[in-house]
Amino acid sequence: MNFTLSDEAVEHAAAIESLVDTAFGPARKTRTVYQFRDGIPPATNLCYVALSNDGDMLGSIRFWPVLMPDGGQGVMLGPLAVLPDLRGQGIGKALVAHGIAGTRAAGYGGVLIVGDRGYYAPFGFREEKVANLELPGSVAPLTFMGLEFEEASLSRLSGMVLPFRETAEQSV
């Protein structure tokens, strides 16, 4: 399958929303991770799309800012969405690898995710990296995991990871 990865652009917004609705359905808005996205803009410099040669949306990956327990800003991957009839053709894996490279290049010490262990473990995501971190709600049947670029960037932390809402009090 031929496709091109590129930065998400404003004109992709409607197609991405449609794709995410198709991939996850309306129940996605009831999941714990949705509160990290609801009313919060994604980290736009870390959002990517997979496009066909004709410019059609095939897949998307976004990253969202989160407030870490030490008061710093972290980043959470998700959602990763690929058209259902194109799953298994490498689009999602290419988007994840590209997104991980982008977050590393942006200077983040690591990445958080709530996702399928079997899918994300080959990229280096591990539960033990976030063993002392909590999210404000259940993630089952998925798994809370982290990927560290810098040693102990996540595993040294302890406490609640919260949605990142910019306020005057936050200095991140």
Q: Let me know if residue 172 belongs to a domain.
A: no
* Whole-structure pTM value: 0.93
Q: Let me know if residue 113 belongs to a domain.
A: yes
**DSSP per-residue letters across 83-120:** -GGGTTSSHHHHHHHHHHHHHHHTT-SEEEEEE-HHHH
Instruction: Name the average pLDDT for the chain.
Output: 93
Q: Let me know if residue 20 belongs to a domain.
A: yes
Q: Let me know if residue 71 belongs to a domain.
A: yes
Count how many domains the chain has: 1
Q: Which domain holds residue 107?
A: 4-163
Q: Let me know if residue 53 belongs to a domain.
A: yes
The residue among 32 and 96 whose pLDDT is bigger is 96
Q: Tell me the CATH number at 62.
A: 3.40.630.30
The residue among 165 and 20 whose pLDDT is bigger is 20
The residue among 28 and 58 whose pLDDT is bigger is 58
Q: Let me know if residue 124 belongs to a domain.
A: yes
Question: What's the pLDDT tens digit per position in 127-147?
Answer: 999 999 999 999 988 999 999
Q: Let me know if residue 170 belongs to a domain.
A: no
Q: Let me know if residue 168 belongs to a domain.
A: no
Question: What's the pLDDT tens digit per position in 31-87?
Answer: 889 889 999 999 989 999 999 999 999 999 999 999 999 999 999 999 999 999 999
The count of residues in the chain is 172
> What pLDDT score was predicted for residue 166?
66
Q: Where are the alpha helices (DSSP H) in the chain?
A: 13-24, 91-105, 117-120
